[in-house]
Every structure is written in C-alpha cells, then in structure tokens.
Structure 1
C-alpha cells in the first residue's frame, strides 16, 4: 500500500494542481492574444492526458488493494467510507470527460467556451482529492458512527465527509500539490534555459508554474502550523514522536535532529521553549511526552521524527528560496540569467516531491499502531494472506513499466515539439488532411476577425 500510495500521490497532485496552471496559460492566450501562452496550454494539456491515463491505472490498483490488503478495515467500516469514495469516483469521471472535451476541442469549440472546459476539470480534481483526504482525516479523527458490540451502527456519512480534520488536512495536501507540480514544471523549463533556450516560451513556461509553487511554499508553513495545533489535541502520541518529546516539559524545547536510542535522546540540538511556541501556540504549554503514552500505543518514534523534521526542513528551504527569488525580482534582478538559480530551480521539483512523501510517512507511521485511531489497530485491519508478496512484486513491476513508458512518451513529445511539430497527432481525434484538405481553425485563428 505504501508503494502504491507513494507512486500515485505524485500523479494525483498533477490532477489537482495542473488544470489551474493550464487555465491561466489558456486565459492569457485567449484574452491577451498571446500565442506563446496558448501554445503552452495546448502542450501542457497533452502531457496532462498522458499523466491522467497512468494515474487511472495506479488508482485502479489502489481500489483493489483497499479490499485485498485491509479486509478488517473495509469489512467493518466500508459502510462508513462509502460516500467519500463514491464522490471521488464521480469526480474522476467528470475530470476525464472534460479533459477529453478540452483536448479535442482545439479549433472545434469557440475559444471562450473551450477555456471553460478547464473549470469543471479543475474543480473535479479538487473535489476528488478532498474526498480521499477526508477518508484519511477520518482515520485520524474518527466520527459519524457508533460501535455497539463490535458492530458499526448509526452511520452519518456526511459527518464522515466533513469530519473535523478534513479541511485542514486537505488544505495541507492541496497546497503541497501546487508546490510540487509548480516546481516540477518550472524545473523543466529551467533545465531548458540551462541548455541555452532563453526564448519567451521557456521564460513564460517557467514563470506561470513558479507563481503557483511560490504561493504554496509561502502559505504552507502557516497551514502546517495550524494543522499541528489540531494534532496536539487529537493525537498526542504522534506529536510527541514529531517533537521527540520523551518527557512532558513546561515549556517544551524544540529538538532539531536527534534519535531515540535505548530510551535516550542522542545527537539533537535543543532550543529552549520553542517547542511550546511552535506546537502549542504558547510560551508555557507543554508538549505531552512519551512518558504519558502506553508503550503499546507508541508509533515508531525515529521514523516519524526524522520524516517530519526532514519535511519541515525541505519546506523551510523552499520557502526561503522563493522569498529570495521574488525579492530579487522586486529589486530588478533577473535571476533567470543566473545558472546557480536555475540549477536550484531544477532541484526544487524533486525536493518538493520528497517533502510530500516524507509528510505522508510522518502522517501514516505517526498514527500507528492504529488504522482507525482509537478504534481499529493495524494488526486487526490488515490481511494475512501468505501469497500477498505476489501482489507486491506485480505492483512493483507494473509501476516500473509505467514509469519507463511515461518517460519515453514524454521525451518523445518534447523532442518533436523542439523540432517544430506543434500539432502532435491525438488518437481518435480528427486530423489535418495531409493531401491539402481543410483542417479545423485554431483558437488563435478563430478569434481573428
């Protein structure tokens, strides 16, 4: 499940964030008559279709794994989780339908109406991701049911969908999606500029996604801080692992680095009182320590702590980098001519992906030993089929093949675009007549009097 989720979450982020970036580029192309922006929108849409198709495969694998790997969870709580998963499925179909309309609408739908195809596509990506995140938030803060003699009764599916942790956890993931997609796409154009392609196509292709990524990087620390305050009340064991708080102290220090070895904290840098300020919004409020948690309820401390602090460290680095970039822009300096700045821009995408993966490790490992916090332990939720390793091998082979295939297809598309082939053929779509027949007008041509 970790392999599947870790691989799929990257593609899901593109479904959440990239339609908004395509919308901005297309809007600029239509309303400002910017052919470069319109060309970017068309290229990005075709890349988005490739990623969407691959994400559909991994999403299908995940739906099977929910039943195969977690019979204890779905057998007992399937009725609780049905509504969010149903809405997620509907959102997927809406996104697929409007992506198809957008792809095949070039030159066939009036420009402004064509632009509107992106709105439901973007909305469906957001709604679908919210539904999935609401399930995970419910697993962290379960509500909307009663347990009577081991049976789930009085299910309120709307309370599950809008549980207390859903909005904040979704906001954290939503902002992260804009960060990693923005940095990854901007990094592609930064790599092009490092190879000497300083044309307007590369500059605009860099700037639009970087604006989204920068907004996410600047907002994310605040969202994470507010979410951390909720964790202090709902999951004190997870927060204790995050902060490596072995004892309850008032005020609590902030421990940078460190490992728990034989019950003792080693190799950490302790900053007095800062733990209470960051984790509790107080100068004196204590962070509940592991000394108050039963050993059977403790998560794997070191994995949770290292993952959490690494995520925060990368997020802080990206925050400082974008703040410096826009400050330099404000001061009139063009960092796009600085090769070190471009190299960091290329690196920012993988760093963002790593931060998101580490955040999910901290969230999921930090909830252990619970799948449904306080109600269902992992050992009771997981299946025990001795042949499950076959599924793991098959999944690894599948994802490896999909990754290689996606890389080959995208590299082929990029080479053909650089060679001047603007109109790459789309399967099942009407094509231009090579013998000189008519073709549908482009959006740019359709707006010309």
Structure 2
C-alpha cells in the first residue's frame, strides 16, 4: 500500500525491467495518501479537543468553551466527510493498482481493514448523533455521545496502522504456493512493529491537530482578536500539542533503535550509511551519489552513540543488503533528508512549547508576544510537514519491498491498463473535494466572525435569569 505510494518520491523514474504501470501507480498512491494523511490527525484528535472544550464548558459553566466545542464539531464533520471520500478512493486503489498484494496476501493484509470498517461506521453514526444533538439532548447526555466518536477514530487509525506495520514486520500467516492459506489474526494485528507505530502516529495526530488549531487562533490574535474566546481556543490546542511533543521525541528515539534492530536497510538509509562500520557519524543533510555521501555535515560517533549508547556500536550499511533488493541512491537520499526534516521540525516545535512554558511561568502576557504568535501561526504547517516527512521515512524506507521479505513492489503492481488516465481522474476528484472543503470552511469562518466571539447562541450554556446552567436555549444555530 503506502510503501508503493511513497516509492515514486524516491525513485523518480522506473528502473529498467519494471512494469510500465509502476511509475503512475506510485505517483497516484503518493498523491492520494499524501492528501489523506493530512486529514487523519483531525479525525483522531480534533474530536478529542472538541470534547475537552465541551467538558470544560459544562463543568465550569464556560460559555466560550461551549461555543468553541460547537464550532469545532462542525469543522470535524466537514473533515470527516472529506476523509471518508479520500479514504474510500484509497481502498479501491489497493485492489486496482496492487493486485499482487491483495491476491497473495489479502487474507492477512485485509484483516485490519475489516476492523477499521467497523470503527468507521461506529464513528459515522456517533458523529451524526453528536452534531444533531446540540440543543436536542440534555447537556451531559450529549457530551457522552461524543466520546464514541473520539474512541472509534483512535481505533480506526490503529487498525490502519496495524496493516501498515504488518507490511514492515509481516507475521501471523502461512504462505504456500503463492497464497496465504492460514491467518492468525491477533499476530497480524499486533505484529512486532504495531505498538511503536501506533503510539508514534497517535501522538503525531494530537501534535498536528493541536498546533493547527493553535495556529488559526494565533493568526486571529495577530489581527487584533484577543478576546477570551480566542485565548481559550488557542490554549486547548496548543497545550495539547505542547504536552505531546516531548513524549513524541522520546517515542521517536525509541523507535529509531527498534528500526536499528529490525530494519537494518531502513536504518542505513536514515543514517546515509553506504558501508558497515563502527564509530558511525550522524550526517546532517547530504545525499548519496554513486554510493558516496556528498554535501553532508558529519557529527563524529553520534549515530553509533544513538543506536547503541557507545561509539563502538556497529551499524550495518547498505553494503550488507543484497544487491538485488538494495534501495537506490535516490531512495536512500529521500529517506535521509525526510528524517532530517522530521527531526529538525520536531525540535523546533519542542522549542516553541518550551517558549510558551517559560512565558507562562514568568507570567508574561503571551497573547501580546507578537514573535511568539508569529511562530505559533506557522506551527500548524510545520507540524503537517513533520507528519508527511515521517511517513516518507516509514514508507520509502521499506523500498523496494511492499511486504518486507515477501513481496517486491514491482511484483505487486498491476500490469493492465493505462494508469495515467486513472491518475488524472483521481486528481480531478481530489481537486474538487479539496476546493469544496476549503470553500465550506471559509464560509463557516466568515459567518462565525460576523456573529462575533460573544454570540448569544450558546448551546445549553450559562444563561441569565432563573434558568439553571443546564437549560437548553430556545433557538438553534
């Protein structure tokens, strides 16, 4: 699936002897997955942020938090719809573009997707109930209808990660005569790479959604909208991302050592290491040209220290990989540079979180620190770029395999039809969906700005007069 998708970024052109369909298939999967992966964090994490705002509004009688929760729920519904469309296209592409994967390994690879389908339908049902339930259900009953939305989105993401991690660490199946003849579902789902990849992606979702939300409110505050409504919206998103950021770096460091042990070819690409050795430097930047590292800045012994906590740690280089399954120089350079971007942006976002903590500790009015707000306004884009870079590392690093040790990408691709036409049609569909989603979101933004931050339409929120906090208003939005 995604290994083939990102392969085009690494390969650029098809190698001699590869099927003609390999390049357009990779191009299409790269584009569609790259589009869809941006929506995943909002499906997983924005719903949780929405519930945090909802809980805060009910628990503390906070009208601003309730208004935020209601508005975020509508944004989440739009992004859920877009994600459903793009995810469905990806499902069809698996069968159309990669029949070798589905024909030989479908019983194992398809099992996590069956689980994901159940979570998807559960999420769709409760998204509808939650959106419809504003002003129609009692406050706490309505809040609890949102909990399955957040939990099912996490479960669905976990199921997809199970399929992807299985491609990196295939187990739990018996393969005979070109077919999977027996599947052990628990081993397939909870394969050796699952928990690390799942935790890494889950934290990434909260980081991307949190910084993206904070960036929207930071832009508003830079334009003079510094009301409590904007400050609360910013804080819910930013604090969530800031808490997840150091945890993500710890998890990422642990995953790097797992890759060192379990995926030596990927680790050699990450470290831009053509030859096996000890006292391996950490190379910042640089590319691999004709098997030689060019333009990089070496930090002596650092790669060996990070891999095994001592300079004498031996790291397998690309020379330890059989020539017929060795990744190309272009693929290696892509993985290495993507890793550098991911790590660099991660530490930049961590620095932003530390900056905020310092401002908070020193009791400085952070909402008036324009350089801080400018950096926050860019943090959402930085988090998305970090996410995309991480997926490039994961997927291009698996090349030339689709299922590591079992199925090469060139053997998985279809050999029928003109895929460029199919790719063009998918581009048109995604362009229409993307433009439609942006148009709807901008329309909602303009309407909310016209209503103002102190709109009277607060769902079952604090009200004047004798009515209790839990009373429902008589008007609907």
**Both structures adopt the same fold (TM-score exceeding 0.5):** yes
Distance in 2 of aligned mates of 1:10 and 1:263: 34
In the TM superposition, what whole-angstrom CA distance separates every residue of 1:400-431 from its partner, at most 9, and x where no partner exists?
Answer: 1111111111111111111118999xxxxxxx
Which residues of 2 match residues 92-103 of structure 1 at below 5 A? 92-103=120-131
CA RMSD of aligned residues (A): 1.8
**Are 1:171 and 2:199 counterparts?**
yes
User: Equivalent residue of 2:242, what SS?
Assistant: helix
Distance in 2 of aligned mates of 1:302 and 1:154: 38
**Are 1:65 and 2:70 counterparts?**
no
Kindly state the Cα deviation for residue 443 of structure 1 after the two structures are TM-superposed. Answer: 4.7
Which sits farther off after the overlay, 293-302 or 360-369? 293-302
* Aligned match of 1:382: 413
**Are 1:370 and 2:398 counterparts?**
no
Find the partner of 2:141 among 107, 110, 113: 113
**Are 1:447 and 2:465 counterparts?**
no
Kindly state the Cα deviation for residue 63 of structure 1 after the two structures are TM-superposed. Answer: 0.8
Contact 1:243 1:254 in 2 (8 A): yes
Kindly state the Cα deviation for residue 335 of structure 1 after the two structures are TM-superposed. Answer: 2.5
Contact 1:111 1:447 in 2 (8 A): no
Distance in 2 of aligned mates of 1:133 and 1:243: 24
Distance 1:221 1:422, change over 3 A: closer
* Aligned match of 1:137: 165
Find the partner of 1:86 among 102, 111, 114: 114
Kindly state the Cα deviation for residue 384 of structure 1 after the two structures are TM-superposed. Answer: 2.1
**Are 1:410 and 2:438 counterparts?**
no
Which residues of 2 match residues 257-296 of structure 1 at below 5 A? 257-296=285-324
* Aligned positions, number: 435
Find the partner of 2:277 among 243, 249, 271: 249
Contact 2:211 2:379 in 1 (8 A): yes
* Aligned match of 1:222: 250
Find the partner of 1:337 among 358, 365, 368: 368
Which residues of 2 match residues 280-359 of structure 1 at below 5 A? 280-299=308-327, 300-359=331-390
* Aligned match of 2:19: none
Distance 1:37 1:385, change over 3 A: same
Relative contact order higher in (CA < 8 Å, ≥ 6 apart):
2
Kindly state the Cα deviation for residue 441 of structure 1 after the two structures are TM-superposed. Answer: 7.3
Find the partner of 2:239 among 203, 211, 236: 211
User: Equivalent residue of 2:126, what SS?
Assistant: helix
Contact 2:63 2:458 in 1 (8 A): no
User: Equivalent residue of 1:152, what SS?
Assistant: strand
Normalising by structure 1, what TM-score?
A: 0.93
In the TM superposition, what whole-angstrom CA distance separates every residue of 1:379-415 from its partner, at most 9, and x where no partner exists?
Answer: 0111123321122111111111111111111111111
* Aligned match of 2:23: none
Q: Is there any run of 5+ residues in structure 1 with no aligned partner, and where?
A: 425-438
Distance 1:276 1:333, change over 3 A: same
**Are 1:395 and 2:421 counterparts?**
no
Which sits farther off after the overlay, 330-339 or 343-352? 330-339
Distance 1:105 1:252, change over 3 A: same
Kindly state the Cα deviation for residue 178 of structure 1 after the two structures are TM-superposed. Answer: 0.7
User: Equivalent residue of 1:41, what SS?
Assistant: helix
Kindly state the Cα deviation for residue 444 of structure 1 after the two structures are TM-superposed. Answer: 4.3
* Aligned match of 2:222: 194
Contact 1:258 1:269 in 2 (8 A): yes
Which residues of 2 match residues 408-447 of structure 1 at below 5 A? 408-420=439-451, 442-444=460-462, 447=469
User: Equivalent residue of 1:117, what SS?
Assistant: helix
Contact 1:225 1:279 in 2 (8 A): no
Distance in 2 of aligned mates of 1:385 and 1:182: 43
Q: Is there any run of 5+ residues in structure 2 with no aligned partner, and where?
A: 1-28, 472-477
Contact 1:240 1:290 in 2 (8 A): yes
Contact 2:214 2:237 in 1 (8 A): yes
In the TM superposition, what whole-angstrom CA distance separates every residue of 1:291-319 from its partner, at most 9, and x where no partner exists?
Answer: 21122222221111111111111111111
Distance in 2 of aligned mates of 1:448 and 1:286: 64
Kindly state the Cα deviation for residue 285 of structure 1 after the two structures are TM-superposed. Answer: 1.4
Which sits farther off after the overlay, 103-112 or 369-378? 103-112
* Aligned match of 2:184: 156
Kindly state the Cα deviation for residue 22 of structure 1 after the two structures are TM-superposed. Answer: 0.7
Distance in 1 of aligned mates of 2:459 and 2:227: 26
Contact 1:246 1:291 in 2 (8 A): yes
* Aligned match of 1:436: none
Distance 1:336 1:440, change over 3 A: closer
* Aligned match of 2:8: none
Contact 1:107 1:443 in 2 (8 A): no
